[in-house]
Amino acid sequence: MIIIICLIFAPFSWLIISSISTMNELLSVPPHWIPHNPTFENYAKIVLPRTGGSEASEMFRYTMWNSFLVALSVTTICLILGSISAYAFSRFYFPLKNSAHMMIIAIRMLPALSTIIPLYIFIRKVGLIDTKTALVILYTTFTLPFVIWIMTGFFRTIPTELE
């Protein structure tokens, strides 16, 4: 078990060690596991905006900002719509309630790969190819059924007397 754990964590530890090592230490022969002069300058070059920084650090900051915006948007939309829908499924009676809930669970069971082509055609026809809005729409379609399913179970555990 110790050997397996070492094999699993060796790449991660080398990644961390090489990120705090200088270029001379990385290229030294024979290589050593513990850097003699650890530095966090590589992290500062990527995270902190500086004039004259490398193109890779600027691209990293740009892509991290885009990922943050998309994740925040999807999370907000799914929590709002999912909570409202789940509350309705857990508290109210309406026609075809069980069928609609089963359809949401069935949508959740669909593999994401099976919906790629129809979603691509939809995104292309709407004119949102290569936009953050398209990512928000796609991630929301995959996440919202899961949120509704989980939140419905949560709302069912809350006694109605507390409302």
Asked whether residue 127 falls in the same domain as residue 67, the answer is yes
Domain hosting 23: range is: 2-39
Amino acid at 150: I
Asked whether residue 35 falls in the same domain as residue 69, the answer is no
Asked whether residue 62 falls in the same domain as residue 13, the answer is no
Q: What is the CATH number of the domain that holds 68?
A: 1.10.3720.10
Q: How many residues does the chain have?
A: 163
Check if the beta carbon of residue 141 is closer than 8 Å to that of residue 119: yes
> Which residue matches tokens 């991660």?
12
Asked whether residue 156 falls in the same domain as residue 80, the answer is yes
User: Residue range 62-67: average pLDDT?
Assistant: 93
Total structural domains in the chain?
A: 2
48 belongs to a structural domain: no
Asked whether residue 24 falls in the same domain as residue 81, the answer is no
The whole-model pTM stands at: 0.75
Of 39-43, 64-68, 85-89, the range with the lowest mean pLDDT is 39-43
Of 67-71, 107-111, 136-140, the range with the lowest mean pLDDT is 107-111
46 belongs to a structural domain: no
